Amino acid sequence: MPTKKNTKQQPTISTKKLKIGQRLTYPELCKLIGASILEGDSKKAQLSSTGESSFKRYFDFEKVGRGLFEITDIYDKPLPVSDGRKYGNNSVYSQYIELILMQYLANRYGHVETFTKQKLWMLLGMINNRYNRVKQSTLEKSNSILTQYEVNHFYQRSKKKLTSILKSALNNLKARRLIDWSEETIIEDKNGKWFTGTDEDKEEILKAEREVLQKYGYEKIFQVYSSFRQKEFFDDVIDILYDKHQWNGFYRRIKIIYNKENVIEAIPKTEIDLQKALLNSEVSNYLNKEAHKIYDNGVKQYNKIIDSEYQKTGTIINGLNNFCPPDTYLAAQELLVNELIRTGNKKEYVTLNQMVDMAVFEELDSLFDNC
């Protein structure tokens, strides 16, 4: 039988053998996930933050020491190819959040609002009122597949993503000068009274957290979360702070300063921008899905032709003249969607000397009038 066309574009990345907290050299990492060991620019592309071949589509990592990488997160599904758009991978999410937050602020009195992160997530509809409130034992009893590991890993992943989306939206509103925002540290004294921590108070908390990290043999805070020891960690931090300053606890909250008139004025445009972004996303996703169908059907038809010819003649002659989509077809089509369809791309605007004469477009339009 003839060798059929291989539909795999590159070695399949598998994260099954990876564990959060692992430290690996580059060759060890490649071997473990089934990736090619490369050099030069190709290696740089694997280790970059964006791009089709980036490892960071499948898991996150940090460089710790010379030639050593530590796994900090593992994704259930590969992230989409990042194309450098202004909002990043959180584009539509962020615009939803911006609009909902602006509508909320427009109906408030004053110019300052404060929220815990979880309260803000709930206000924006990102979580429900059971998030982080239902006992772990209750979740585990509700379904046999919900083990302690599954619950802990879910909260670890979801909090990271929720925080990323929220900060992206807040930063964009700040860039538009509709809000200013910052994080505050709120501390409880020995009498149960709460106060806003000064820079010196925050320094004391940092010192206590560093002390506990070293006690655990850790170098970075993510190691606490990846080992699911956050409750134990913060209990130990509070013990130190109570012994030194008689503080019973602390938490961090988000402070938002805004001008109500500016927010109200910006809402209609934000609503239109969101609708345009949703439509653009739908069109882009459709084109990418259609490309997959075309590729799969093309390969099937090609294989059918060469199989039939081989069965009849025992050789392949005419089949080789039939078109089969190249292995690079899907990657090329996605790149073109990102370059020419998706909005928000940094390369979206072109100079006059880059622009094709509009007469050419008019001629093309006339050719495709009946399509």
**Helix H or strand E encompassing 254:** strand 249-258
Q: What is the pLDDT of residues 304-328, one digit of tens each?
A: 877 877 777 766 655 555 667 777 7
Give the Cα separation of 353 and 37 in Å (integer).
40
User: Which residue in this structure is represented by tokens 């012994």?
Assistant: 243
What is this structure's pTM? Answer: 0.63
* pLDDT digit string, tens, across residues 93-149: 788 889 999 999 999 988 999 999 999 999 998 888 888 888 878 888 888 888 887
Per-residue pLDDT reduced to its tens digit, 221-273: 888 887 888 889 999 999 999 999 999 999 999 999 999 999 999 999 888 88
Q: What is the pLDDT of residues 179-216, one digit of tens each?
A: 999 999 999 999 999 999 999 999 999 999 999 999 99
Does residue 82 surpass a pLDDT of 60?
A: no
Q: Give the pLDDT mean for 160-178.
A: 88
d(CA 157, CA 11) in angstroms, rounded, equals 26
Contact 304, 216 (CB under 8 A): no
Q: Which amino acid is at 317?
A: I
Residues 73 and 59: beta-carbon distance below 8 Å: yes
Average pLDDT score, the chain: 80
Rounded to 10 degrees, what is the CA torsion of 26, 31, 33, 37?
A: 60
